[in-house]
Structure 1
């Protein structure tokens, strides 16, 4: 190959490298200023690897959770993947989440080059950063269930599945593949997960029974008494014309009994125990049978769990060495 002809694709490759690095740097400056130092170091490493690369693939991803508050009372979070993605081929990524503030990601970077293109080298880079900080979770009689059942059976290729139930869980599937017909093939897959200041409270609610209380009362008494008086029966006039009333004396005796009775009732709440406590169940059942290739499955239930599956493959040409 003439030098003049070789320089053109080399210039194009270097221009692509600078564009990739600049684009990654721009994303870091705009959205995730707190992580610029880490991004810059990775971009420098990527740039140094890509100078002689005929093919390059890069994925840079950042997810942040901070300062969140979650209160679950009698809450049920169910994440299920049932009878799905069976017989799939190629690159498969599935994320299923239930709850609050969960982070899930499937990242793939693939680069391939043959020896006729520049120096026949390939570089693939996949990086993901997940951060949880200052989050608070309070679960009262909460149930979290994550299930992967009868799924992804008979699949082939790269398979990444994340199923989570709960709060602030982090799950990641990374893949970086570089295939070169020349001497150089480099693949890197990185996953950074950080949890700081996560405050989780799991409590059960009290259970009560409603009790009706009843009270009765009864009272009895006896009374008696004597009385004296008179009865006016008629009046008469004397010879002087004055009116006189006749008063006949009267004497009486009285006695008797009386009774009082009543019923009073009221209701109270009596503690009887505890309602169902916080339960976290993660199940992987009858799934991923007969698969081939790279398989990564994450199933979690609860709060603040971190799971990652990373794959890095680099294949070069022995005959070219």
Structure 2
């Protein structure tokens, strides 16, 4: 396998960049001086230095994504992410990212290296690395809807295809591609992804529904009472007569009485009672892929997610050498 001659200037340029990077890395690491903002620890080596410096062609992609200490409160929120009728009949390297929601992480990375065997062993090396961290984040969803769909997309495409579609919060998605093609014996390709998720809190709460019932109460009470009593009527006064003995005569008379009656009470009371019946507007997470990626060829990676804190990754590493070329 021999690449076109037009690639040779690019190969020389990459080799020159590598040499400069290697020299700069040696200068940084002299004496073991570290970054003062990191407690004096030595700096991490440049990712370019981690590849084979003897390679005739090299390609490196290195990225890091971090999400920590965030708080999200969704109340009656609708998150939607869609890809409809897009990227059909595409060729080559295709990367598509679509996100709806909060603090989502998505990435498409490609590293391709091609070397001619006539230049430094004809070796090629390609490398992609990705680090995504998602820690100590908080999500509270109240009657929230997260919906993701991939419909009628990338049909009839060819080559390397990476598609990420997500809705919700703190989702992580990654597509990595590393290809190394060498006309000589040596070809190396690596693709790696590191995703961490820890210490996250999610609260999915819906609205409680109730039925309102009106209740009535009636009451009726009857009763009776009776009573008797005695007493006197009258008394001594100046008009009283004299008895035969010359004294005054009393006009007081004994009295007796009886009393009876009845009591009747009626009334109506009403009050309302709330009875739980279920949930309204619950948290709905839905993801769908329909009529997409039909009749594609090559490497295809598709990630579709909905919700909170999902992690997805697609990695491809290809190395091709030529033993007969040396």
Give the Cα–Cα distance (whole angstroms) in 2 for the partners of residues 21 and 180 of structure 1: 26
Structure 1 residues 156 and 16: CA distance shift in structure 2, 3 A: farther
SS of the equivalent of 2:44 reads: helix
SS of the equivalent of 1:288 reads: coil
Counterpart position of 1:180: 182
SS of the equivalent of 1:50 reads: coil
Equivalent positions of 1:54-133 (< 5 A) are: 54-133=56-135
Counterpart position of 1:171: 173
- Report the alpha carbon displacement of residue 128 of structure 1 after superposing the two structures with TM: 0.8
- Report the alpha carbon displacement of residue 47 of structure 1 after superposing the two structures with TM: 2.8
Give the Cα–Cα distance (whole angstroms) in 2 for the partners of residues 108 and 21 of structure 1: 24
Counterpart position of 1:3: none
Residue correspondences, number: 262
TM-score (norm 2): 0.70
User: Are residue 279 (structure 1) and residue 281 (structure 2) matched?
Assistant: no
User: Are residue 15 (structure 1) and residue 19 (structure 2) matched?
Assistant: yes
- Report the alpha carbon displacement of residue 213 of structure 1 after superposing the two structures with TM: 8.6
- Report the alpha carbon displacement of residue 273 of structure 1 after superposing the two structures with TM: 2.6
TM-score (norm 1): 0.71
Q: In angstroms, what is the RMSD of aligned CA positions?
A: 3.4
- Report the alpha carbon displacement of residue 210 of structure 1 after superposing the two structures with TM: 6.4
Structure 1 residues 176 and 42: CA distance shift in structure 2, 3 A: farther
Give the Cα–Cα distance (whole angstroms) in 2 for the partners of residues 309 and 207 of structure 1: 42
Give the Cα–Cα distance (whole angstroms) in 1 for the partners of residues 115 and 17 of structure 2: 12
Q: Tell me if structure 2 keeps the 8 A contact 1:17–1:50.
A: no
Equivalent positions of 1:305-316 (< 5 A) are: 305-316=310-321
Q: Spell out, residue by residue over 1:52-102, the C-alpha distance to the aligned partner (whole angstroms, 9 max, x if none).
A: 111111111011100011111221111110111000111110011111111
Q: Tell me if structure 1 keeps the 8 A contact 2:78–2:144.
A: yes
- Report the alpha carbon displacement of residue 154 of structure 1 after superposing the two structures with TM: 0.1
Give the Cα–Cα distance (whole angstroms) in 1 for the partners of residues 18 and 141 of structure 2: 53
Gaps of at least 5 residues in structure 2 are 1-11, 219-267
Q: Tell me if structure 2 keeps the 8 A contact 1:175–1:311.
A: yes
Give the Cα–Cα distance (whole angstroms) in 2 for the partners of residues 103 and 176 of structure 1: 20
SS of the equivalent of 1:119 reads: helix
SS of the equivalent of 1:147 reads: strand
Give the Cα–Cα distance (whole angstroms) in 2 for the partners of residues 281 and 143 of structure 1: 8
Structure 1 residues 33 and 167: CA distance shift in structure 2, 3 A: farther
Give the Cα–Cα distance (whole angstroms) in 1 for the partners of residues 14 and 155 of structure 2: 44
SS of the equivalent of 2:22 reads: helix
Equivalent positions of 1:127-276 (< 5 A) are: 127-208=129-210, 271-276=276-281
Give the Cα–Cα distance (whole angstroms) in 2 for the partners of residues 84 and 188 of structure 1: 30
SS of the equivalent of 1:12 reads: helix
Give the Cα–Cα distance (whole angstroms) in 2 for the partners of residues 186 and 126 of structure 1: 12
- Report the alpha carbon displacement of residue 206 of structure 1 after superposing the two structures with TM: 1.1
User: Are residue 318 (structure 1) and residue 323 (structure 2) matched?
Assistant: yes
